[in-house]
Amino acid sequence: MSLADIKSRIAQAEAAVDRIGQTHLIAVSKIQPNERVEAVLNDGHRSFGENRVQEAAGKWPAFRETYSGIELHLLGPLQTNKARQAMELFDVIHTLDRPKLAGKVATLKDELGKCPDLFIQINTGEEPQKAGIPPGEADAFINHCKELGLPIIGLMCIPPVDEEAALHFALLAKIAARNGLDNLSMGMSADFEKAITFGATHIRVGSAIFGERVYEDA
Ligand SMILES: *Cc1c(COP(=O)(O)O)cnc(C)c1O
């Protein structure tokens, strides 16, 4: 599906809830070959998402030399020992998910004199294998991050694969609203229209733009 097709689907979903132009499309380029990423860059798109610091560091500095205005989003779990590199490379981090990382980012913010915009990841499905703050601890963690002086702009979630995503989108929106946070990072290729209906401001769309990811075995 082309970028233009995705944009028209976004516009339709926005129009249905009277939120035209309110959604930020992040093209998730992890694993994708450089030719596919270049095609989307040449179409004029500038906002991209990656899951791994290492992979992003290997490909985006070169793209940034050729294309101006690139905005890079980190969407995968962040190890504390990669926080510095991530804060230097990314414009937005969507996966602030534990107190230890919050403390590290706060220290580095002072050291570097800058900090990416931050989303707090909420584990809305309370899945043991998934990262994120449990919904019951969200308010306290959000306050803790604000006290640390971190630039928290919103909340992010990845709903469980086997559950109705709408319930999770609605829960995330509710937690954000009661904490005065304006941005919601939710919705992927399979459900971005539904996410827009529930107030997504940032949707993360990979395979629907680039095609299926081909994981080569080592
Ligand atoms: C890979 C990934 C996406 C994009 O998934 P698609 O189904 O390809 O759209 C979005 N968000 C996160 C956190 C991801 O890891």
Give a yes or no: residue 68 inside a domain: yes
Q: Is the CB of 86 under 6 A from ligand 1?
A: no
Q: Is the CB of 28 under 6 A from ligand 1?
A: yes
Question: What's the whole-number average pLDDT of the chain?
Answer: 97
Give a yes or no: residue 214 inside a domain: no
Closest-lying ligand 1 atom to the alpha carbon of residue 30: 1
pTM as predicted: 0.97
The protein residue whose alpha carbon is closest to atom 6 in ligand 1 is 206
Q: Is residue 1 over pLDDT 90?
A: no
Contact 202, 91 (CB under 8 A): no
Which of 31, 189, 204, 213 has most ligand 1 atoms within 8 Å of CB, for mutation?
204
The CATH number that applies at residue 109 is: 3.20.20.10
Q: Is the CB of 202 under 6 A from ligand 1?
A: no
- Domain region containing 108: 3-209
**pLDDT value of residue 214:** 84
Give a yes or no: residue 215 inside a domain: no
218 exposed, middle or buried (CB, 10 Å; 0-12, 13-18, 19+)? exposed
Q: Is the CB of 51 under 6 A from ligand 1?
A: yes
Mean pLDDT on 138-162: 98
Q: Is residue 212 over pLDDT 60?
A: yes
Mean pLDDT on 125-134: 97
Mean pLDDT on 201-217: 91
What DSSP line would sit under 104-143, residue for residue?
Answer: HHHHHHHHHT---EEEEEB-TT--TTS-SB-GGGHHHHHH
> How many Å lie between the centroid of ligand 1 and the Cα of residue 206?
6
Give a yes or no: residue 10 inside a domain: yes
Ranges 113-117, 122-126, 161-165, 212-216: which has the least confidence? 212-216
> What is the percent of the chain with per-residue pLDDT over 70, rounded to a whole number?
99
Q: At CA 206, angle to CA 83 and CA 81, rounded to 5? A: 10
Mean pLDDT on 187-202: 98
Q: Is residue 109 over pLDDT 60?
A: yes
Which of 130, 157, 188 has most ligand 1 atoms within 8 Å of CB, for mutation?
188
Give a yes or no: residue 117 inside a domain: yes
Closest-lying ligand 1 atom to the alpha carbon of residue 26: 10
Instruction: Count structural domains, the chain.
Output: 1
> What is the percent of the chain with per-residue pLDDT over 90, rounded to a whole number?
96
Q: Is the CB of 74 under 6 A from ligand 1?
A: no
> How many Å lie between the centroid of ligand 1 and the Cα of residue 59?
18
Q: Is the CB of 72 under 6 A from ligand 1?
A: no
Mean pLDDT on 179-204: 98
Contacts of 147 (CB under 8 A, 6+ apart): none
